[in-house]
Chain A
């Protein structure tokens, strides 16, 4: 019996007790309506009844900001009617837009009820295992919990910024046609040089000017071969680097940047892999094409910040997890001890590019004390020195301020500038 029933019973007991003590039968008679109410509730409670629930989502994959619909069909498959309290709790990250999550319904035998609601959700993976209901009487005096299996899953993908020409060039390429300049002659669109004409070369590329100066020789143009490259993206999901007071969306920015870069590289035909440093090492093995992009999207949708003490420093990260001579893009706000692993990766032949969202921001809040201002200044200096140390290794570093879009930051500097930028 519920607290409500106990409350009514207490009133009945108090009235009867008062009647006995005061010899005033009006108190005992006043208890009768309370008794009748309690009895009516107990008698309308149905102990039998089988319920089946099916759950349907309007789509199982979507993006942040999209509106999703959930439809629930509750069917009474028993031989007797049943009163139910329906209670669907929202999962963390969801926001109800329309519809009811809680309601009391009467379901005759063999009848179905269709109910639903619309919601929006943040990036993540949402899974429903069952549906919680309460078998109850009309007044809530008796309740019996009922959890019926109703499985469904939703993946909300992060929003990606479409990058046009991200200005990140891999130095090493694979011998497969693509869009990256390979620094070798072959078929392409960028002019490479001239050479003597060989039988089988296309007549269209004969350099007539050069040929006119060379008696008995025909000179043909050569172009720079365009190939695909192996690109690995390493996303830092450690809580120690991403939890900054006043910047709740630092990690989300990193996730969106990772997806934007992955999309851009895959669109160019490159072979892309992903590694997320979180509770465990989450990997997407190298691949290309739309399927690879879907795998990366799903992995990024599910990744969360984690407190793994073993990964507080990247010192123990095995650096040979990417294909040899691949370009590795590290997306991380960085900590002071991370320079060491970047150095190791660079030493192992990887072309390392660091995209670092600035965790400090440029402006201090208005109510900052002098001590806080000094601490902020020290933190900025520490970060500047760290970036300079990494650049000194010959690694490209892209310092990404909080208030600027990624496209603008990537376009603003060339690879050479990123390697040579001094401390300001």
Chain B
């Protein structure tokens, strides 16, 4: 689907912008150029040879760049957001329907829409929880921490069950 391709490219661009900006703020502007060069080479490689592992390698590199940025003291929120967009790009590009010239059935379009919706919600919630975790620091006893995690997990479980296909 053409939309999926646009979303993938868009997500990669957002990742590039966020990570480059974060490194630029700490004076390592060359990292942004390096990441752009890596993206360009992978994009050209993908045009010549469709290999499933290319997407995975790009995700690992992005996460690696973000992780290194944490050590260098870059903006954690921006780097986290960059990694999440890289994850979104990986997931959208991984299962994208092939044979773009042939039209999809209604059920296939329904599947794609659900997939993108759940992806958006899962990663959005992940970013929100991550952002809260970065900004708020609450000292909790270990037992309370474990209980909170369990409650959060249960709420998430109930929430995502809503997206099971209904009868």
Which residue of the partner chain, among A24, A37, A103, A105, contacts B126 with CB atoms under 8 Å? A37
Interface check B129, CB cutoff 8 A: yes
> Do B80 and A104 have beta carbons less than 8 Å apart?
no
> Do B105 and A115 have beta carbons less than 8 Å apart?
yes
> Do B71 and A30 have beta carbons less than 8 Å apart?
no
Query: What is the distance, in angstroms, from B129's C-beta to the closest C-beta of chain A?
Result: 5
A contact residues around B60 at 8 Å (CB): 11
Q: Name B's A-contacting residues (CB within 8 A).
A: 56, 59-60, 63, 66-67, 70-71, 76, 79-80, 83-84, 87, 91, 94-95, 97-99, 102, 104-108, 110-112, 114-115, 118-119, 121-123, 125-127, 129-130, 133-134, 153, 156-157, 160-161, 163-167
Lowest 3 A-B CB distances belong to which pairs?
Answer: A81-B165, A33-B126, A109-B167
- Among A38-46, A242-250, A318-326, the stretch that binds chain B is A38-46
Interface check A7, CB cutoff 8 A: yes
> Do A105 and B76 have beta carbons less than 8 Å apart?
no
A-B contact pairs, 28 of them (CB 8 A): A30-B66, A33-B87, A33-B122, A36-B129, A37-B87, A37-B126, A40-B118, A40-B160, A43-B164, A44-B163, A81-B166, A81-B167, A82-B165, A98-B102, A102-B98, A103-B108, A104-B112, A104-B115, A105-B105, A105-B111, A107-B165, A108-B165, A109-B165, A111-B107, A138-B115, A138-B118, A139-B118, A140-B94
A115 vs B166: C-alpha distance when bound (angstroms): 22
Q: Name A's B-contacting residues (CB within 8 A).
A: 4, 7, 11, 15, 18, 22, 24-27, 29-30, 32-37, 39-40, 43-44, 46, 78-83, 98-100, 102-111, 113-115, 138-140
A contact residues around B63 at 8 Å (CB): 11, 15, 30
> Do A32 and B126 have beta carbons less than 8 Å apart?
yes
Q: Give the residue name and chain of the B residue nearest to A24 (CB).
A: B70
Instruction: Apart from A26-B134, A33-B123, A44-B160, list 4 A-B contacts with CB within 8 A.
Output: A32-B129, A32-B133, A36-B129, A114-B105
> Do A7 and B80 have beta carbons less than 8 Å apart?
no
Known: A33-B84, A109-B167. A104 touches B97 (CB 8 A): yes
Query: What is the distance, in angstroms, from B66's C-beta to the closest C-beta of chain A?
Result: 7
Query: What is the distance, in angstroms, from A30's C-beta to the closest C-beta of chain B?
Result: 6
Known: A26-B76, A27-B67, A81-B165. A40 touches B122 (CB 8 A): yes
